A and B are shown apart, each in its own frame.
Chain A
Amino acid sequence: MNGSKLSWVEKYKPKTLDEIVGNDAAKKDFIDWLQRWDRRGKAAMLHGPPGVGKTVLVEVAASTLGYRLIETNASDTRREDYLENVIKPAAFNRSLFSSRLMIFFDEIDGISREDSGALNFILELIESSRVPIVMAANDPWSPNLFRIRDKVYMIPMHRIRVQSIVKRLRDICRNEGVRCKQEVLMLIAGRSEGDMRAAIEDLELLYSSREDVDLEEAEKILSYRNVEKNIFETLRMVAFAPTLEKASTSLSSSEEKPEDILEWVFENVPHVLPRQSLYRSLRYVAEADALFKQISKNSLWRILPCFYHKLASAFLVAPQKNRASFSFPTRMRERFKRFQHEKNFRELESFFMKDLHVGRSTFRRDLIPLLRLLSKNEDFRRSMLNRMVDQHLKELYSSVILGEARKRFS
């Protein structure tokens, strides 16, 4: 969660062309195209399913051939000022001496057909740019792209073979010092459907917190991830949606329960938005939360779309940080633990509240810190425990007041 620890996907991102696994033909094709490129303004489009290395190929090729990359994603293309002030000057960079530039439109199929401004801008750019234009798309046959498709050099990229993925995963395991069973690696690679990024994400999920996993356990954990994967995909679509309507539709067509989607958005907004936009964004989340409580209490399900609008807006207030990575909501992970902890609190406080005439808030705010302090004194602790007849109560006291629970829950 804090930026200090890289995810494995980031950590093992290829740095040279050789490190990019699979798609040898596409690699060669793209490098050739770039080397052939002359200032006559033609663009290339890498297309293929997610996680096969489109973005990585562009990044590595650029650095290998000495280009400076100007990256944009679908959420940037919403912003006319960005196109005018950043992309346009780069495209018409006339200086012969400054570093060579390459413009990269990632996830270009995310541009909405209605956003004719951005589409026209890109079409015009393809005709007249003085620097190479590269695009990446999952679905090049998307109707949004038909005008662009005719004008660009298409380079297909394919799913990565299972064997290649297994080999890569094994290298990572060796480097991380984890023991991995061949059948688990096969399971991960098979499930990934040729998506290297997904495979490495799964590998990290299995091994980052433990050293050994058997097949059965892996199957269990990864089947859980199926659901997770859907919501990841949904969030990605929302975060990069070009219009509110699209974002909102992505949310409402998700299979997740509305209250779970709220959790996902609440968790991830701070991870993917710049600090400056947090307040505006979280206000939408807070409104969505309040609204949802009203909806479920009063059965106002017909206004559920408003709830999705608000959640979508939470992402759309600002362009995302590049390459956003989403995390599983802490609140959902901790739900059970917190429930248990709260139950312990309540049992304990019902014992104290009677004798001490305090309410719940007072108990938590004033009494718990007091009891913790006083209990450092041996005599006090003993007298207190002597007054508790019930063994269970004594245990609660030890765990909640004497601090064992704090270690567990911090």
Chain B
Amino acid sequence: MSVADLLWVEKYRPRSLDEIIDREEVVSRLKSFIKIGNVPNMLFVGPPGTGKTTAALALVNDLYQGSASGRFLELNASDERGINTIREVVKDFARSRPSTGVPFKILILDESDNMTQDAQQALRRIMERYASVTRFILLANYQWGIIEPIQSRCAVFRFPPLSPTHIREGLIRVLEKEGVSWSEEALEEIIKASRGDMRKAINIAQSASGGSKRLTKESILQVVGVLHPREIREMINEALNGDFVSARKRLAKLLYDDGLSANDILREMNNELMSVEMDERKRLQVVNALGEANFRVSMGADAEIQISTVLAALVADLK
């Protein structure tokens, strides 16, 4: 038995393009591809929880009309064996060309901006070589995390954060099906904490409802801090207070104990840095360090060493 039905995000994931909330433009373009029975290579770009995977899976489902199994594959690009796995899979695809119906298979590559530049170069060659039998849907948080030659071979679709209205709509849809009641202010809290991330919104709702089938503001506030860890802010504060060694320890915990990706840590730091109070010139220096760290990590440098420079920039006083 699958674990999918235990988690609301998966249980209520839209199965068809018609069920998708918001994203009208994306959906209508995808539908037009289905109508002509051909799709280009695509790049779905947007922050977490904005429907990239959902849209890709729904497209596959609609395209193959329910008999999608064996015709598409999801791979996680952040695996370092990634590029070899991809090559093998694509070769297999090429060998077993589907005899009827849609003449190509689809490969969904999640988190493709986590691939190193070299892996992306290799991916680009694979995309060219097997263009006749395979279509790629690359999912990424940042468009600039994908090398230019791949971008130019893809139709780019943007997935901005969902509007509060749409988060509300999606939440209510799930809550009604689960028979959970809610107070208006509880809903407001979730929407605020989700920042346009539908996955986060639904996760908060599920963990806050517990066994009680009722959402209150209190139960929401209890889980929000846990699901949206405060640790990155604490790390920044430690550095701002001059305690570099503690900040670096916390960074190591986030990277190794919690296994967070460097990209996620950097993105979250970036968000926090915009709101933390500090001298504007200092903010400039820190954000600059962050950019450099981001770039070097994407070139294959060590995450802890690179992010440490951002912490050190926070420690430094400007004269």
**A interface residues with partner B (beta carbon < 8 Å):** 1-2, 262, 266, 270-271, 275-276, 278-279, 281-283, 285-286, 289-290, 293, 297, 330-331, 334, 338, 341-342, 345, 352-353, 355-362, 364-366, 368-370, 372-374, 377, 379-380, 383-384, 386-387, 406, 409-410
Contact = CB atoms under 8 A, between A and B. Distances in A.
Nearest to B248: A270
Given A361-B78, A361-B261, A387 B226 contact: no
A366 B207 contact: no
Given A357-B10, A361-B78, A361-B261, 11 more contacts: A2-B246, A270-B245, A279-B309, A334-B252, A341-B257, A342-B256, A357-B13, A365-B264, A370-B227, A374-B6, A384-B3
Nearest to A1: B245
A358 B74 CA distance: 9
B151 to A, nearest CB: 19
B300 A293 contact: yes
Interface string B278-310: 000000010001001100100111101110110
Interface stretch (B27-35, B166-174, B198-206): B198-206
Contacts of B293: 286
A278 B110 contact: no
Main DSSP-derived SS at the B contact region: helix
A358 B139 CA distance: 11
Nearest to A360: B78
B211 to A, nearest CB: 6
Interface residues of B, number: 68
Interface string B231-264: 0000000000010111010001100111111011
A282 B248 CA distance: 12
B287 to A, nearest CB: 13
B1 interface: yes
A289 B3 CA distance: 41
A297 B3 CA distance: 41
Given A275-B244, A276-B317, A359-B76, A380 B309 contact: no
Contacts of B199: 362, 366
Given A1-B245, A369-B226, A364 B258 contact: yes
B120 interface: no
Contacts, number: 168
A366 B206 CA distance: 13
A328 B154 CA distance: 48
A57 B309 CA distance: 40
Contact of A374 (B139, B207, B315): B207
Contacts of A271: 245
B76 A360 contact: yes
Given A279-B312, A365-B264, A360 B296 contact: no
B316 interface: yes
21 contacts: A266-B305, A270-B245, A275-B316, A278-B244, A279-B315, A285-B309, A286-B306, A289-B296, A290-B301, A293-B299, A356-B10, A360-B78, A360-B114, A361-B114, A362-B110, A365-B48, A366-B48, A366-B49, A373-B223, A373-B226, A387-B3
A266 B308 contact: yes
B77 interface: yes
A380 B3 CA distance: 11
A387 to B, nearest CB: 5
A331 B203 contact: no
B2 interface: yes
Interface string B1-25: 1111011011001000000000000
Contacts of B207: 370, 373-374
Residue among B48, B293, B301 with most chain A CB within 10 A? B301
A222 B114 CA distance: 42
A289 B301 contact: yes
B188 interface: no
B20 to A, nearest CB: 15
A240 B111 CA distance: 46
Nearest to A356: B10
B261 A360 contact: yes
